[in-house]
């Protein structure tokens, strides 16, 4: 498949595909005229890479995960890395809940002139 075909089928730009190649997440071959061509599995691979990016993984981590996806076997080190990443995300979620609760207090204070800020802060 040519780069434009893969991009269209995967719903990404050709620039994204070039970036994935630069990051060694995707491979292509070149025609004698220098055009990139991809295997038929490239669209599925691009969708998988996009899923990993949406999950918050870095290019480096994705590079480590892809061979495990291919073989169905993850190394203990990779599982430890992914568990640490999940724990980091859990911490961010916790922090966001705290921010949300503080915003609720700010909203309440703006609509209730009798709102007791001291009581809310010490709660």
pLDDT at position 120, please? 72
Tokens of 34: 């220098």
The per-residue pLDDT string of the chain (123 residues; one tens digit each, 9 = 90 and over) reads: 999 999 999 999 999 999 999 999 999 999 999 999 999 999 999 999 999 999 999 999 999 999 999 999 999 999 999 999 999 999 999 999 999 999 999 999 999 888 887 777 776
The tokens of 112 are what? 């209730």
Local structure of 2: helix, strand or coil: strand
Domain layout of the chain by residue ranges: 3-71, 76-121
The reported pLDDT for the residue numbered 123 is 64
| Non-local CB neighbours of 17 within 8 Å, separated by 6+ positions | 3, 6, 7, 10, 26, 28, 36, 38, 46
How far is 34 from 20, CA to CA, in rounded Å? 18
> What is the model's pLDDT at position 95?
97
What is the rounded distance in angstroms from the CA atom of residue 55 to the CA atom of residue 107?
A: 31
DSSP secondary-structure letter at 42? H
In this structure, CATH architecture of domain 3-71: Orthogonal Bundle (1.10)
Q: Which of 70, 55, 82 is nearest to 25 (CA)?
A: 70
Residue 29, SS3 per DSSP: strand
Q: What is the pLDDT of residue 118?
A: 76
Strand-pairing partners, residue 2, are 37
């Amino acid at each position: 498949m040519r780069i434009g075909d893969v991009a269209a089928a995967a719903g990404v730009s050709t620039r994204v595909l070039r970036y994935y190649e630069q990051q060694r997440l995707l491979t292509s071959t070149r025609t004698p005229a220098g055009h990139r061509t991809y295997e038929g599995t490239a669209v599925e691979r691009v969708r998988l890479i996009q899923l990993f990016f949406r999950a918050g993984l870095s290019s480096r981590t994705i590079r480590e995960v892809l061979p495990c996806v291919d073989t169905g076997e993850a190394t203990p080190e990779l599982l430890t890395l992914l568990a640490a990443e999940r724990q980091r995300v859990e911490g961010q979620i916790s922090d966001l809940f705290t921010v949300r609760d503080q915003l609720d207090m700010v909203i309440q204070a703006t609509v209730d002139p009798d709102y007791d800020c001291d009581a809310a802060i010490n709660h």
